[in-house]
Structure 1
């Protein structure tokens, strides 16, 4: 499968993006994960869609003029709209996962005419929860841990709050990482995520009423194995706010990485 790599200048930076296949336009977006995480699933969809993936602003191959600029859902939504403009597309379908789901939801509210169907997979919208104050305070503690104790401490707090700590406690330590050695880019992306993105994504105030009244068809996606995760609760809350129920997808929060083929088929079914 041929992949075309391109660069788009946006306000404050440049976006690395990739285009595969042919057919209706489909955007796959995460945050902070970049285009590489979607490659196997994008390949599986490229026989039916023109699939577009990208590195979010400030991550990977998408540098910012000011590296200390915060990454907000609204800014990232504007970046997606700019990608559509660059592709000369009025509208597209979109799959957004985690922070990328919040990006898509922001776009659906800000520029609803740009999306047809949005599959919002496990958006971490903490303000939808009854214990939002405590959850957001925990996010603040995670950001503080980065500045006080370093990236490893921030990841450990993040994983515990997300719900992975009790299920896989050995994965929340350096000894449990299976000898994985992060690259300098991994370290830079992780630091940026905690310092400039995590709070803005998890504290985003989604106008659920405007979303429900708008023209975008929103499908809330939920990992079939995500029951112990915090994003299980936020996904249920969003679906209830929209008057529906979540649609199951393979795996848990990053199921599209572990099960790209099955995930692609489930996504195709939702879009169809």
Structure 2
């Protein structure tokens, strides 16, 4: 008998799909899974096709499809004229729900990961300090090997903690909190965190270790900082990997630019609204493949006071100069850089901008794991992908 013709009892099916026999019987009574054939003694006999269908229905249940929808999916052949089209509608609607839920979980996971890294850093290390004329920059060093700086804006030491740990076996990894972020507290009369100012802070930090070139990985606004560093201090850059610099300046999209400006303008008085707008226009919290568009809007939960204060600073002072920064293409061409973007960032602002930059420079855009926050959300996979890019 072929495997496809093999008939299985309920105990065997239960073992294969990880569902108790009583649960299978209950779902059968509710019309959620189809009733199988029975032998002469009344025992259930499942075909391989039955098992695969039940397995799929279990996946639908585990991902939160309402039981009523699953029952409709199962009984479509007897209830509608176009069962295939009806099932497609049910699956498409459920796919949207799962994608929205995944985006919510990704945001929660990012916050949880950042907090774990933050508390771990507080427990295991005290940052070193670099005095600047108008502020103090906090930084942390770990590992041995070639000098590698991880650069973000607004991401700082906490955001890079997991990635730094992955890279510390091969590199001496330096992470720092940009001015106004984390332990690099904003102080009165501190210069605004423009890419030019952040690049000078970074240059001073590099000089703290070596007067010669170093390796860099920059993500999001940190990649923009590295573009300015390469322009002002090219002798410091041995090799730089730029991950998704969100350069609205490179996109011929006036509506997007206007929305970004409006979000930044609202940050001081209504940071919740500013965060919502920036989240929607960037699409950066979503996972989108080549054939997927990020949702135009997804309601964010009310942010706690601490996050609102952070975004007053980030969106109100740092984000605007960063996304509207105009890179010096000729200066960038003279530097050794690689451009990469998340394999799940398609049709999002930062990936579109990075593709535009790659086109101007005549460089390939290299896919790396995850989306815009892949460096923190998938640190091991991200590290494996970017380390080869640090070599010319």
Aligned counterpart, 1:64: 186
Larger C-alpha radius of gyration, 1 or 2? Answer: 2
Any idea what SS the aligned residue of 1:172 has?
A: coil
Any idea what SS the aligned residue of 2:130 has?
A: strand
CA drift of 1:234 comes to 0.2
Equivalents in 1 of 2:321, 2:243: separation in Å? 18
1:4-153 equivalence runs, <5 A: 5-66=127-188, 69-131=191-253, 133-148=254-269, 150-153=270-273
CA drift of 1:211 comes to 1.2
Aligned counterpart, 1:178: none
Aligned counterpart, 2:73: none
Greater relative contact order, per chain length (Cα 8 Å cut-off, separation 6+): 1
Check 1:100–1:255 CA distance in 2 against 1; reply closer, same or farther (3 A cut): same
CA drift of 1:117 comes to 0.8
Structure 2 unmatched runs, 5+: 1-120, 287-292
Correspondence 1:201 to 2:322: yes
Q: Confirm or deny: 8 A CA contact 1:95 1:120 kept in the other structure.
A: yes
Q: For residues 125-177 of structure 1, what are the alpha-carbon distances to aligned partners after superposition, in whole Å with 9 as ceiling and x for unaligned?
A: 1111122x3332212110222244x11100110011102587467853217xx
Equivalents in 2 of 1:240, 1:17: separation in Å? 34
Check 1:218–1:153 CA distance in 2 against 1; reply closer, same or farther (3 A cut): same
Correspondence 1:161 to 2:276: no
RMSD of the alignment, in Å? 2.1
Aligned counterpart, 1:211: 332
CA drift of 1:86 comes to 1.1
Q: Confirm or deny: 8 A CA contact 2:268 2:312 kept in the other structure.
A: no
Aligned length: 262
Q: For residues 74-121 of structure 1, what are the alpha-carbon distances to aligned partners after superposition, in whole Å with 9 as ceiling and x for unaligned?
A: 100011111111113421110000000000111011111101111110
Equivalents in 2 of 1:233, 1:169: separation in Å? 16
Equivalents in 2 of 1:229, 1:111: separation in Å? 30
Equivalents in 1 of 2:194, 2:245: separation in Å? 14
Equivalents in 1 of 2:125, 2:213: separation in Å? 21
Correspondence 1:222 to 2:349: no
Any idea what SS the aligned residue of 1:174 has?
A: coil
1:225-264 equivalence runs, <5 A: 225-264=344-383
Check 1:116–1:4 CA distance in 2 against 1; reply closer, same or farther (3 A cut): farther
Any idea what SS the aligned residue of 1:57 has?
A: coil
TM-score (norm 1): 0.90
Check 1:138–1:269 CA distance in 2 against 1; reply closer, same or farther (3 A cut): same
Equivalents in 2 of 1:33, 1:45: separation in Å? 17
Any idea what SS the aligned residue of 2:136 has?
A: strand
Any idea what SS the aligned residue of 2:137 has?
A: strand
Equivalents in 1 of 2:377, 2:299: separation in Å? 19
Check 1:146–1:64 CA distance in 2 against 1; reply closer, same or farther (3 A cut): closer
Equivalents in 2 of 1:40, 1:51: separation in Å? 12
Structure 1 unmatched runs, 5+: 176-180
Equivalents in 1 of 2:158, 2:342: separation in Å? 20
TM-score (norm 2): 0.63
